[in-house]
Amino acid sequence: MLRSMTLKGLEPNLITYNVVINGLCREGRLKETSGVLVEMSRKGYVPDEVTYNTLVNGHCKEGNIYQALVLHAEMVRNGLSPNVVTYTSLIDIMCKNGNLNRAIAFFDQMHIRGLHPNERTYTTLINGFSQKGLLNEAYQILNEMTRAGFSPSVVTYNTLINGHCLLGRMEEAATVLQEMVGKGLSPDVVSYSTVLSGFCRSQDLDKAFHVMREMVGRGISPDAITFSSLICGLCEQRRLIEACDLFQEMLHRGLPPDVITYTTLIDAYCKEGDFNKALRLHDEMINKGFLPDVVTYSVLINGLNKQARTREARRLLLKLFYDETVPNDVTYDTLMENCSNGEFKSVVALIKGFCMKGLMNEADKVFESMIERNHKPSEAVYNVIIHGHCRGGNVVKAYNMYKEMVQLGFVPHTVTVIALVKGLFTKGMSEELNQVIGNILRSCKLTDAELAKELVEINHKEGNTDAAFNLLTEMAKDGLLPSSRIPANVGG
């Protein structure tokens, strides 16, 4: 817009810039607003209240609490006043971040500046207190809201219902639901589903189903959350047949189950010892585009281990690291606790799986977990993880593990030392490079290697590192460098 105006010989003014900034904020293109502000300044325009209010609101909606606060402070410092919408946005972001003291401070500032909170301001604050279970404070704001002439909306009541449910005060939550009806408001699917979910968590399924019948009687169709809550409640009470019937009804209605629904059913089947159905559900959720999370896999592996089906547990565990359908945030860290001592035989393969995917933090966690459980890492483990860190560019970590490996009396594999030498050379770590090459040459005990050793030393001393690399590689091919006992299928 600004470019087209310039091309037409038109000069944008402050109103024009504010319109552009508002458009960028609405589209979530906050980064581009800084360029507009620079251009404004260059043209001699100073941001006004509209500019600041727009920007603070935009950053609040994006969840950028730091930038929102910086702009608010700058605005006040320049003698400008935030409006009701801006204060409501600031209160909202503070509530979402759990900073209720700051939210109340902004609320008080509104009054000091002579601004009157609107219905959304009050509801936002009520929701903030309700989410934290601070219902006394929530009702104080509700009373102030009604004194100010605002009637609580369905959304306002829903926040209070949720607060009661979070505290397990289900009778009071149900009372609020009836109070809504008594005041002429029509509870929506959120109102009913919140109460129903609360009863399910409290193991009062009779009342949960009563709420479902009531909502259907009022013409409100249950949603996926309604069904998932009931399925979870039934599974908790080992009423698996009823849970499966509800699951089928959910699918028949075209309501998509989520990962939690699938995981709940998988857990229930595991507890019943029906692992075939549990594994079928696991495959079904992947086919439908739902990626199992760490909880899903933990449930399956726990169940399989308890039934002494360790081969299947191990196979599923390995799937985490080699199957591209498994998200990277499903880590071995959580699952480690479920492994028996015998399963540590697979640890080299597991670490290699992480190294191949570049997940070196996870590989390190496995390594550290072994040590914590008094399982001494083998020569093979050191070789794999050092090579992985070299590939990942963390040469310092690789070198430190190499030193540790040598101190333990292990012999690094040829592939490992060549990767380390290359990494040290690339990073310019000359002292460490000299140490490693010195160790390599000292470990060559075959008389046939003497000429090659001399050539490596000469080239290295003269700075011909590429030639030294080539000679080391040739020595490896000829079997003149030590080769550790790393299995062929996990090296390199």
The closest alpha carbon to 354, from 310, 389, 401, 397, belongs to 389
Strand, coil or helix: 79: coil
Contact indicator for 159, 153 with CB cutoff of 8 Å = no
- Global pTM? 0.60
* H or E element that contains 311: helix 310-322
| CA separation for the pair 237, 243 (Å, rounded) | 10
Strand, coil or helix: 121: helix
| CA separation for the pair 328, 321 (Å, rounded) | 8
The closest alpha carbon to 490, from 389, 404, 388, belongs to 388
DSSP 113: T
| CA separation for the pair 50, 18 (Å, rounded) | 7
In degrees and rounded to multiples of 5, residue 484 shows phi and psi of: -70, 175
Contact indicator for 320, 335 with CB cutoff of 8 Å = yes
Q: Domains of the chain: which residue ranges? A: 273-371, 378-492
- For each of the chain's 492 residues, which pLDDT tens digit applies? 545 555 455 567 778 878 888 888 888 887 878 888 888 888 788 888 888 888 888 888 888 888 888 888 888 888 888 899 999 999 999 999 888 999 999 999 999 999 999 999 999 999 999 999 999 999 999 999 999 999 999 999 999 999 999 999 999 999 999 999 888 899 999 999 999 999 999 999 999 999 999 999 999 999 999 999 999 999 989 899 999 999 999 989 888 888 888 889 988 888 888 888 888 888 888 777 776 666 676 677 666 656 556 566 555 555 554 454 444 444 343 344 444 444 444 566 667 767 777 888 888 887 887 777 677 787 878 888 898 898 888 999 999 999 998 888 888 876 777 788 888 888 888 888 878 877 776 665 434 444 444 444 544 554 555 555 554 555 555 454 444 433 333 333
- Residue 11, classified by CB atoms within 10 Å of its CB into exposed (0-12), middle (13-18) or buried (19+), is exposed
| CA separation for the pair 350, 82 (Å, rounded) | 56
- Residue 139, classified by CB atoms within 10 Å of its CB into exposed (0-12), middle (13-18) or buried (19+), is middle
> Would you give the distance in Å from CA 357 to the centre of its chain?
18
State the CB neighbour count (10 A cutoff) for residue 108: 10
| CA separation for the pair 301, 90 (Å, rounded) | 45
Residue appearing with tokens 């390594």: 367
- Beta-carbon contacts of 200 under 8 Å, excluding residues fewer than 6 positions away, are 208, 229, 230, 232, 233, 236
> Would you give the distance in Å from CA 196 to the centre of its chain?
28
Distances (CA, A) of 397 to 194, 329, 418: 50, 23, 16
